[in-house]
Amino acid sequence: MSTVWLIDGRAVSDTSEDWRHECEARAIAALPTLEERRAWLESLEKKRGKEAVDRLRATMKALWAGRGSK
């Protein structure tokens, strides 16, 4: 088990749900096209609900915003 830093600056375990969530958001954000990202999120919304997908979208936006500040 290791400590990792989230986009929001928190330090968490690499086995935590917060880290899993951020990794999932990074993976979706890295898909090559908008269509692929939308399809992936639509599929997740059917399985997990709108709230879960809205949270992923917010994390993805934070990740993209963070890229411009480096």
- What six digits make up the tokens of 32? 């090559």
Rounded Cα–Cα distance for residues 24 and 26 (Å): 5
Q: What percent of the chain has pLDDT over 90?
A: 90
Rounded to the nearest 5°, which phi and psi values hold at 44?
Answer: -65, -35
Residue 70's pLDDT is: 44
At residue 63, does pLDDT exceed 80?
yes
- What six digits make up the tokens of 37? 């990202």
Residue 66's pLDDT is: 82
* pLDDT, tens only, 5-22: 999 999 999 999 999 999
Note the pTM of the prediction, 2 decimals: 0.87
